[in-house]
Structure 1
Amino acid sequence: MRPTPPTNLKQLAQRANDLAGWTLADIASDYGIQMPENLKREKGWVGQLLEYALGADAQSRPEPDFTQLGVEMKTIPIDQSGAPLETTYICVAPRTGQAGVDWHRSLVYKKLAHVLWVPIEGERKIPLAERRVGTPLLWQPSQEEEAMLRADWEELMELLTFGQPITARHGEYLQLRPKAADGSVKTKAFDINGKPIQAQPKGFYLKKSFTQLILNRAFITGPI
């Protein structure tokens, strides 16, 4: 039976802590969920498994995973030293209809206002079934961290809105990258002259340097 959504932060934190040390196979077996052989075609499977086990209820809606609590859950694949192995997907970057939307009304802000970070062993040499869940962390950005993210978001949204070229080098901690199964997928956008075009969808991602900062402050220098 699918767990009901947690009703408070204490309950969510307890559920997440209870999974620490479990392998992905343990969790999947406990809930009768079939594991894929690998993540090549099911890249989001680990996150979906933990969302199920913890009682997330947002599903595909554009809001935080735990809707009653306003908490988003993000997994972080890490190596043996605790370093993030990849960037963290946040949400799709809207290409139209963003006139007048400021930072505090953006989906990026809503997704990052309160996050349950769950580290996962992610090195390829460890079979998927044997990868363990690490110690979770409930996190809210400090004023300094929010200012860094806001500055990147404002820069990237300006480039996106006016059809300017964007690369992964734009943004110090937040970046825009293609978000589609392949290059044939297109969405409505505008070019540099304001004319409607069909362009590749993009998504917002946190760079590894930012998630490393979060992990360092939580587990090396103490909670933020």
Structure 2
Amino acid sequence: MEETNLYDVTDPIDIERYSKELIGKTFKQVLAEHYTDNEFVFEEKVEYYTNPRGKGSLGNLIEKYYFGYEPNSSPEPDFPEAGVELKVTPYEALKKKGKFKAGERLVISMIPNDKEVEDEFNSSHLIRKLNLILLVLYLREKGEKRVDFKIDYAKLFSITGNACKEDLLIIESDYNKIISKIKQGKAHELSEGDTVYLGACTKGATAEKSLKPQFYNSEVPAKRRAFCLKQGYVTYLLNKYIFEDIDTYDKIVKNPDKLQNTNFETYVLEKINKCIGRTESELRRTFGVEEKNHAKNRYSQLAFAMLGVKSNKAEEFEKANIVVKTIRLRENNTIKESMSFPSMTFKQFAKESWSDSVAYDYFSETKFLFVVFKNTEKDYIFQGAQFWNMPISDLDTIGKKEWLEAQTTIREGVKFNTDTDKIKNNLPKQSKTKIFHMRPHADRSAYIINGVKYGNGDIGKDTDVLPNGDVMTKQSFWLNNSYILSVLDSKFKQ
């Protein structure tokens, strides 16, 4: 890096000091300070960085026009003499006053596809980048131009320090899992849902265009990927290091030393599976969960109680975006209900591309803990638990096809049959799909079709507007019960 009289390139503290002068500025103001005598070029740059599809990111802008070095893809930290990695990243305000979340995952470094990967985490280029991160944080608000986002925070922190000691054990385990899969020639099967805090996210304008030959398997191309800290974990880091207002949830791993000789997932399964064979009533008495509680989430409460967590939130699960889903098997080893997911906005759904869609992000990034109970004549019995994430081989083939079929129906206009007591539509039905289907996600149904209202639901609360102007009951994707059954471990069905 070139010498500068603005800050000492060898001193992390001085780099942080200089970065704090960004606080209160917009990205446009940073550009304006650089182009004080060339208004024409300034306006060109503003237009370039305003375009969300522009090749230059806001991070590139800060690197080039504030810190004075050219953006690059070096495996070394951005300030090599000081060992500091710069990350410019957004955060968003939640509806709950005073609460915030990370705007996205934090991409750390590219995973090479044309050479051998590094076996040892502790000597890898990744650990060098995680050692000292300068986080420059800006508030992303809907409706504002990108260059008008304001920088609010600039701070150094370390993933390798004592404060993140137990997290680092999990990150190292994640790294080893990713590297192992790559070395087996299975880079094309990588998914963010494979791991806990450290992910292998796709990189490229589109996932399809990023396909490259694998070093360990020349016959099957794989998407270009990068090591990243997952969005849930980045949210935790921001709350802890920046906002200093983190919600405190119970930890599953009370003693970090427990992870020295095992990984997090194995530890969780060993802990919860100690309760296999016990009835719901026994578990309620043992863990103090009310017998009279008939809430929908009562089985989820039991699951957390078996893990030593008093609420329905565990710190590690929040940081890792692990979703607990309880499954109740019938006596004949079938599942009555499909599994629902958050409702969608029709107009947003109609505009999405598959690789950037809400559904793709959710199913590629989320890891699930399935907690299985089986019905008997007297009571439900706990069968055990398993971690699961949707394989990319399912998501990018059948899942993509079924998503596109649903999107096409929404785009072209949903056709309704109003001649029956129950309004019917032409969205692909569960019986015609293998992985997921779209169906209502509201307590009551309501429609406005060609100006005529149907159903007893509330317009607005229970509905959403279709691209053609009709109003329909809110919908979401549901995982088919038959698909869920097919991915469950066979031991649960005995």
Which band: TM-score by shorter chain? Answer: 0.7 to 0.9
Q: Does 1:91 align with 2:109?
A: yes
CA distance in 2, matches of 1:7, 1:178: 32
Contact 2:111/2:227 (<8 A) preserved = yes
1:25-174 pair list within 5 angstroms: 25-32=28-35, 34-35=45-46, 36=48, 38-42=50-54, 44-52=56-64, 53-56=66-69, 59-80=72-93, 81-95=99-113, 97-98=115-116, 101-141=119-159, 142-164=164-186, 165-174=189-198
- Residue 79 of structure 1: SS of its match in structure 2? strand
- Residue 120 of structure 1: SS of its match in structure 2? strand
Following TM superposition, by how much is the alpha carbon of 1:72 offset from its aligned partner in structure 2, in angstroms? 0.4
Root-mean-square deviation (CA, aligned residues, Å) is 2.5
Following TM superposition, by how much is the alpha carbon of 1:168 offset from its aligned partner in structure 2, in angstroms? 2.2
Q: TM-score, normalised by structure 2?
A: 0.41
Following TM superposition, by how much is the alpha carbon of 1:78 offset from its aligned partner in structure 2, in angstroms? 0.7
Deviates more, 1:20-29 or 1:40-49: 40-49
Contact 1:95/1:160 (<8 A) preserved = no
Change over 3 Å in CA distance of 1:93–1:49 after alignment to 2: same
Identity of aligned residues (%): 22
Deviates more, 1:73-82 or 1:130-139: 73-82
Summarize deviations over 1:123-158 as a string: whole Å, max 9, x none. Answer: 332222321011112011132232121111111111
Following TM superposition, by how much is the alpha carbon of 1:187 offset from its aligned partner in structure 2, in angstroms? 2.5
Q: Which runs of 5+ in 1 are unaligned?
A: none
Following TM superposition, by how much is the alpha carbon of 1:68 offset from its aligned partner in structure 2, in angstroms? 0.8
CA distance in 2, matches of 1:60, 1:168: 21
Q: Does 1:21 align with 2:39?
A: no
Following TM superposition, by how much is the alpha carbon of 1:196 offset from its aligned partner in structure 2, in angstroms? 4.6
- Residue 152 of structure 2: SS of its match in structure 1? coil
**Corresponding residue pairs, total:** 219
**Aligned residue number for residue 211 of structure 1:** 234
Deviates more, 1:196-205 or 1:79-88: 196-205
CA distance in 2, matches of 1:195, 1:27: 45
CA distance in 1, matches of 2:67, 2:85: 12
Contact 1:71/1:114 (<8 A) preserved = yes
Change over 3 Å in CA distance of 1:195–1:30 after alignment to 2: closer
User: Which one has a bigger Cα radius of gyration?
Assistant: 2
Which letter maps to 1:212? T
CA distance in 2, matches of 1:3, 1:128: 30
CA distance in 2, matches of 1:3, 1:27: 20
Deviates more, 1:119-128 or 1:35-44: 35-44
Q: TM-score, normalised by structure 1?
A: 0.86
CA distance in 1, matches of 2:165, 2:70: 29
Which letter maps to 2:103? L
Q: Does 1:184 align with 2:206?
A: no
Q: Which runs of 5+ in 2 are unaligned?
A: 36-41, 94-98, 247-494
